[in-house]
């Protein structure tokens, strides 16, 4: 993800797969429909979201605002890079 080649959209998401309960809020309320369910289950038996269409992700963090489980958030590459630099 940090690899520049992989940078397709304007942003990306970070998912805590094991915390996700598969409610699909993030998927349904992503303005660009960039997310989809993973085919895998997590340990609790839930499907978690993956960035199926990374091109479409704007890093707007709408997914993060909706997630009731704090299991996902989005960020813009711009901001990620800044953070990285600041480290």
Partner 1 sequence: MAKTEIRVGGLGGQGVILCGSIIGKAAAIHGGKHATLIQAFGPEARGSACSAQVTVSDDVIGYPYVKNPDILVLMSQDAFNQFIPQLKPGGMVLYEAELVKPDGKLPEGVRAMGVPATRFAEELGRRLVLNIVMVGFFAGVTGLLPFEAVEKAVLDSVPRGTEELNLKALKKGYDFGREQAV
Partner 2 sequence: MSLLMDQSAEELECGMDNPVLPFLRKDRIPHIWCPGCGIGTTVNSFCRALGDSGMDLDKIAIVSGIGCTGRTAGYLNLDSFHTTHGRAIPFATGLKLANPDLKVVVYSGDGDLTAIGGNHFMHAARRNMDIMVVCINNFTYGMTGGQVAPTTPLGPTQTTMPFGNFESSFNLPFLADACGAVYVARWTVYHVRQLAKAMKEGLQKKGFVFIEAMAPCPTLYSRRNRLGDGVDQVKYFKERSTIKNGVDTKDVGLTYQGDIVVGKFVDRDRPTWMDSMNDHFGKVLGDKYETYGAHHG
Asked if 8 and 30 count as a contact pair (C-beta separation under 8 A), the reply is no
| Nearest by Cα to 44 from 71, 81, 74, 17 | 17
68 contacts partner 1 (rule: CB under 8 A): no
Give me the least distance between CB of 13 and partner 2, in Å please.
11
Which SS3 state, helix, strand or coil, does residue 87 take? coil
Where b means 16+ CB within 10 Å and e means fewer, 72-87 reads bbbbbbeebeeeeeee
65 binds, among partner 1, ligand SF4, partner 2, none (CB under 5 to 8 A by kind): partner 2
- Which residues 5-44 are close enough to bind partner 1 by CB under 8 A? 21, 43-44
38 contacts partner 2 (rule: CB under 8 A): no
| Nearest by Cα to 13 from 82, 87, 70 | 70
Residue closer to partner 2 by CB (options 33, 70) is 70
Give me the least distance between CB of 24 and partner 1, in Å please.
15
Give me the least distance between CB of 47 and partner 1, in Å please.
14
């Amino acid at each position: 993800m940090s690899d520049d080649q992989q940078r397709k959209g304007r942003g990306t998401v970070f998912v805590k797969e094991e915390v996700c309960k598969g409610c699909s809020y993030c998927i349904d309320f992503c303005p660009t429909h960039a997310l989809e369910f993973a085919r895998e289950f997590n340990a609790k038996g839930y499907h978690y979201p993956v960035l199926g269409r990374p091109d479409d992700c704007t890093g707007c963090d709408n997914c993060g605002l909706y997630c009731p489980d704090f299991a996902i958030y989005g960020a813009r590459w711009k901001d990620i890079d800044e953070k990285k630099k600041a480290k």
